[in-house]
């Protein structure tokens, strides 16, 4: 299936937490060491002033041994990420960061960096980076038993406690943020060990992985890296799946929504699931159920919640029984064809494109199923080619359609030019985000199925039964 952008997914948002009253923005000034292979790209993940996730890219010059960049950060306690290195910052911090490419045994480690923070708060700011480094040693240990891993985690936890004490960290919000970050690293170690040493009873591993882990921890609100927030809930779901292999993705998501207290993480998880569900199946009872859960557990009017509302409303247009958008498209003969022309008939639509290999592979199946209904007067099969406009491409499409035996009055054209009003309406009203897309519309012009799925080679008979069920639904 070829995925195509349908709408912009808004960046997720929630409310940050800080025990201290924010007084001024945090200032980040970084000195960057240049290695021969360094591309000069600095990635910064942090919370914005409205506490939504933000990702910025800085380009520094690579023709000198060092370069600098600076940024104002939101006035809140948060764990930011600079090129994969985590830092703990507070409102009003002056972060004086040095970041250099990482070498091991004299060899450059691609994509890895080491850092140091100078200044009066440097020891506290660098703590997440040190925690990450300490637990990262587990990758080379190849633990095979729970006991071995537990001993490593216990020893490392003592070292972390010593680092926190040496940095004289006493603020509650800082301690909670560090605890949440360390628990995440411990969970990552456990999940890696469990996946490397699978046994028939995975519940044992799942119970061990999640023992002591708190997805409801308030410190998770300090995570300023969207990818880290997503990984936190993904790891937790992996542990739950080990505990109970029968859990569905929907059930796991609901667990996250009901357990986690950090809106940003919940919004991100819900949005990702809803986009995937809608892309694969259009509107479903599961989509409705999850959306109703979000209504009860998420704050309203945040950017993340508005994105969830937007996705849900887009797919709700494809709820069975909803009026189907009455498009008006030209066929390959140049005649205008409207959906309303087929009132009284079941309409089966295949949206495809020449550049989509899966679409082209499915065309013979579409033709075969369509031919099986050729003596029926109350069902019609339409192909809609989603292609670049233009005379030259139209000639190529015409020949392509003839070669694949789908040419004729029911072979329609949909422009991929988003400035085309008809194309824009079709894309929005049918939530067209992936092709091939098979749509079924009843004889009254209402949605039967917003996404019939995809005819998997070898299972054509099952797909044909879906079409047969649509045909039986006629009045």
Domain total in the chain: 2
Q: Is 131 part of any domain?
A: yes
pLDDT of residue 326: 95
Whether the CB-CB separation of 129 and 85 falls below 8 Å is answered with yes
**Residue 263: alpha-carbon gap to chain centroid:** 16
Count of residues in the chain: 475
Q: Tokens 């480690």 belong to which residue? A: 109
Parallel, antiparallel or unpaired: strands 26-33 and 411-415: unpaired
Which domain does 461 fall in, by range? 328-472
CB atoms within 10 A of CB 71: 18
Residues 6+ apart with CB under 8 A from 179: 217, 219
Both 293 and 336 in a single domain? no
DSSP code of residue 321: T
Q: Is 429 part of any domain?
A: yes
Residues of the chain with pLDDT under 70: 1-23, 391-392, 475
CB atoms within 10 A of CB 128: 26
Which alpha helices (H) appear in 44-197, and where do they start and end? 122-125, 127-136, 146-166, 172-196
Whether the CB-CB separation of 290 and 316 falls below 8 Å is answered with no
Measure the CA–CA gap between 451 and 454, rounded to whole angstroms.
9
pLDDT of residue 18: 40
Measure the CA–CA gap between 419 and 427, rounded to whole angstroms.
11
pLDDT of residue 80: 96
- Of 90, 40, 106, nearest to 67 by C-alpha is 40
Both 110 and 258 in a single domain? yes
CB atoms within 10 A of CB 207: 13
Both 400 and 288 in a single domain? no
Whether the CB-CB separation of 279 and 7 falls below 8 Å is answered with no
Q: Is 280 part of any domain?
A: yes
CB atoms within 10 A of CB 94: 15
- Write down the pTM of the prediction: 0.82
Burial class (CB in 10 A: 0-12, 13-18, 19+), 246: exposed
Among the three residues 316, 343, 358, which one is the final residue of a domain in this structure? 316
Both 357 and 308 in a single domain? no
Q: Is 5 part of any domain?
A: no
**Residue 76: alpha-carbon gap to chain centroid:** 26
Residues 6+ apart with CB under 8 A from 88: 77, 78, 79, 124, 125, 127, 128, 174, 177, 178, 222
Both 45 and 162 in a single domain? yes
């Amino acid at each position: 299936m070829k995925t195509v952008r349908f709408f912009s997914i808004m960046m997720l948002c929630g409310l940050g937490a800080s025990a201290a009253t924010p007084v001024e923005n945090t200032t980040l000034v970084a000195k960057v060491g240049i290695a021969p292979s360094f591309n000069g790209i600095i990635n910064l993940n942090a919370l914005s002033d409205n506490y939504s996730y933000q990702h910025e890219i800085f380009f520094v010059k690579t023709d000198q041994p060092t370069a600098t960049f600076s940024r104002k950060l939101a006035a809140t306690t948060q764990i930011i990420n600079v090129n994969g290195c985590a830092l703990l910052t507070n409102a009003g911090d002056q972060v004086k960061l040095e970041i250099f490419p990482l070498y091991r045994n004299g060899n450059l480690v691609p994509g890895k960096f080491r850092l140091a923070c100078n200044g009066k708060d440097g020891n506290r700011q660098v703590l997440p980076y040190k925690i990450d480094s300490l637990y990262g040693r587990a990758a080379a240990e190849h633990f095979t038993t729970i006991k071995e891993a537990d001993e490593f985690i216990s020893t490392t936890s003592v070292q972390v406690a010593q680092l926190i004490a040496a940095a004289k960290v006493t603020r509650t919000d800082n301690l909670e943020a560090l605890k949440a970050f360390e628990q995440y690293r411990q969970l990552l170690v456990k999940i890696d060990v469990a996946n490397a040493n699978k046994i028939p009873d995975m519940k044992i591993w799942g119970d061990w992985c999640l023992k002591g882990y708190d997805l409801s921890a308030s410190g998770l609100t300090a995570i300023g890296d969207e990818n880290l927030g997503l990984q936190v809930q993904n790891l937790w779901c992996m542990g739950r799946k080990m505990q109970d292999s029968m859990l569905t993705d929907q059930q796991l998501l609901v667990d996250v929504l009901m357990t986690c207290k950090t809106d940003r993480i919940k919004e991100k998880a819900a949005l990702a699931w809803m986009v995937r569900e809608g892309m694969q199946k259009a509107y479903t009872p599961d989509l409705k159920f999850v959306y109703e859960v979000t209504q009860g557990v998420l704050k309203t009017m945040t950017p993340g919640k508005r994105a969830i509302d937007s996705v849900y409303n887009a797919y709700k247009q494809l709820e069975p029984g909803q009026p189907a958008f009455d498009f008006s498209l030209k066929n390959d003969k140049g005649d205008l064809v409207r959906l309303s022309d087929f009132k009284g008939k079941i309409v089966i639509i295949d949206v495809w494109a020449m550049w989509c290999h899966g679409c082209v592979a499915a065309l013979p199946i579409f033709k075969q199923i369509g031919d099986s209904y050729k003596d029926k007067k109350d069902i019609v099969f339409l192909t809609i080619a989603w292609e670049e406009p233009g005379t030259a491409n139209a000639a190529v499409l015409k020949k392509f359609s003839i070669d694949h035996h789908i040419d004729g009055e029911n072979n329609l054209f949909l422009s991929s030019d988003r400035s085309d009003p008809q194309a824009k309406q079709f894309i929005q009203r049918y939530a067209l985000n992936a092709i091939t897309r098979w749509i079924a519309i009843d004889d009254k012009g209402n949605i039967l199925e917003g996404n019939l799925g995809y005819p998997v080679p070898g299972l054509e008979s099952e797909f044909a039964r879906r079409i047969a069920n649509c045909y039986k639904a006629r009045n």
